[in-house]
Amino acid sequence: MTGRIDGISGPTVNVKMPGLRLYDRVYVGHAMLTGEVVRLAKQGAVIQVYENTAGLAMGEPVRGAGLPLAVRLGPGLLSGIFDGLQRPLQRLKEEIGPFITGGQEISALDYTRKFHFFPQKNKGEEVKQGDILGYFAEGAFKHHLVSRWNGTLAWLVSGACRLDSPIGRFEDGTEIPGSLEWPVRVPRPYRRKLTVSDPLLTGQRCVDFLFPMARGGTVILPGGFGTGKTILEQSIAKFADVDIVVYVGCGERGNEMAELIDEFGGLNDPWTGRKLMERTIFVANTSNMPVAAREASIYTAVSMAEYYRDMGLNVLLLADSLSRWAEALREISSSLEEMPGEEGYPTYLASRLSSFFERAGTVETLSGATGSLSMILSVSPPGGDFTEPVTQACMRATGGFLMLDTTLAHRRHFPAINWLQSYSLYEKSAMAYFNGSLSPAWEEAIRRCRDILSREMSLTAVAEIVGHDGLQDADRLLMRTAETIRQEFLCQNAYTEDAFSPPEKTLAAIAAILQGHDSAAEKITKGGTLDEIVP
């Protein structure tokens, strides 16, 4: 199926070509740039090109792939670094050098690499859709191969195999490939959604203790310029208690991403001791890469994340930042001359975002296992204005809101999470979990910590009128404790040993502060003065 370019407007191209379907993948021009059909017209279609369109000319050929924009899913994705169209950047560099021009078609999976396959079904056995045929050894993981067919097995490989030829066959002749293609815009199937209940530990005291995240949940980190969004996302990528992390650098600085990838090479997972890189997939669509591919990059990432979820694993998708994705959407929409909504974003911004968040959750997979896909996404509202459309649309669709505060960041209080305005809807289930698995002291400590921080706020207002010395000793003690909680408990330097705090350490730290407070308070009630007790 081929046609001709009939018009070019920035990243969108009009093409005269019958027979295309919405969201079909197309190759544009002599350079074979990757594009996607975003609107059908009378005699052709409008195509969104995901690569730089400079140099394209009218009349150049356009070829339809006959398939939607898809990712390749199979063993070998872990520790990979991909661009927004799932091209493996390391292999691209080896093959064509550091300057990637458009139209490079290279598979995400390495077909020359050998994997070890352990079959779990035998020749002659009846197999149903969703059954686990066996698994590949991929680092520490059992990479399940789930059957997409019903049938009787005629043959299944055992031992070393490559992905470029079938690894099994059914009696009716259907071949079993070791990998598959999946259209990025379509959520991968599962049996049913389960309620989200287990907490997802991040190693960040403020998050785990005050605003816990849940496996299968969604949280946004909105914050103005320089409030620590990237550092927090990166810290969570290093320390989160999950099986797999998919990290998307979406429209942010390329050097930050490069440094992160470099750093990851030498780090170990604090929960398992294995190499952190082994459980991580990077999707880089940084600010120096084509804008249009940013729109596709989060779908590429979420499809890979769902694939590992389907093996019964806990997967975390991190993206920095969703605002840059929304800006790419706005750019595409304006080049399509669609009716703009609030602040120029398309009117379907909120529905696109919520259907993206819908792909998170804890599910019963087709093979009956439980897997989860969680999302923690940063949002960069221009001027730190949280009433802007992207933050608002995200807030309506997600379960956690960790507001990063410019004033706190200026005071170098990091992570700059505002403890009075942030919230998490997963608080109750996390509390029940910690009370049961760790200590009932957890809930009491949270209640007291919140109480001290909110009383500090009202006492600060009083102190502004009567002066700090005008306060009673018990109140001055409370303000001291609140300050300790803020500076020693809620602050966590990402560049020191303290960057990771497991729940036992978190509980011990807050318990020590509260104990210190209680013993000082007791001395005050017995007639001591604060200056004597804590000189």
Ligand X SMILES: Nc1ncnc2c1ncn2[C@@H]1O[C@H](COP(=O)(O)OP(=O)(O)OP(=O)(O)O)[C@@H](O)[C@H]1O
Binding residue (CB under 6 A) for ligand X from 179, 286, 380, 506: 380
Question: Of these, 79, 227, 333, 367, which contacts ligand X (CB under 6 A)?
Answer: 227
Q: Is 227 in the site for Mg ion (CB under 5 A)?
A: no
Candidates 66, 189, 226, 340; binder of ligand X (CB under 6 A) is: 226
495 scored as a contact of ligand X (CB under 6 A): yes
* 131 and 366 Cβ atoms separated by less than 8 Å: no
> Exactly one of 25, 72, 215, 229 binds ligand X (CB under 6 A); which one?
229
Q: Contacting ligand X (CB under 6 A), which of 11, 74, 119, 415?
A: 415
Phi and psi based region of residue 179 (left: phi greater than 0; alpha: psi -120 to 50; beta: remaining): beta
| The amino acid at 118 | F
Site string for ligand X, 242-261 (x = CB under 6 A): ----------x---------
Using CB under 6 A as the binding rule, whether residue 377 contacts ligand X is answered as: no
**How many residues bind to Mg ion according to rule CB under 5 A?**
2
Structure tokens at 77: 């994705």
Tokens 């001027």, residue located: 383
Strands 213-214 and 199-200: antiparallel
Identified binder of Mg ion from the candidate list 34, 227, 230, 297, rule CB under 5 A: 230
Comparison of 167 and 416: residue with beta carbon closer to ligand X: 416
**Do 432 and 199 form a contact (C-beta atoms < 8 A)?**
no
Nearest residue to 139 via CA among 249, 317, 272, 241: 272
By beta-carbon proximity to ligand X, the closer residue of 309 and 324 is 324
How are beta strands 70-73 and 213-214 bridged, if at all?
unpaired
Residues 194-223 that bind ligand X (CB under 6 A): 223
DSSP states along 345-402? -BTTHHHHHHHHHTT-EEEE-TTS-EEEEEEEEEE--GGG-TTSHHHHHHHHH-SEE-
End-to-end CA distance of the chain: 82
Minimum separation from the CB atom of position 208 to Mg ion (A) = 22
48/378 with CB nearer ligand X: 378
* CB atoms inside a 10 Å sphere around CB 105: 9
* 118 or 386: CB nearest Mg ion: 386
Cβ 254 to ligand X, closest distance in Å?
12
**Closer residue to Mg ion in complex, CB, 319/445:** 319
Nearest residue to Mg ion, scored by beta-carbon proximity: 230
Name the segment binding ligand X (CB under 6 A); options: 290-298, 343-351, 478-486, 488-496.
Answer: 488-496
Is residue 502 exposed (0-12), middle (13-18) or buried (19+ Cβ within 10 Å)?
A: middle
**Site residues for Mg ion per CB under 5 A:** 229-230
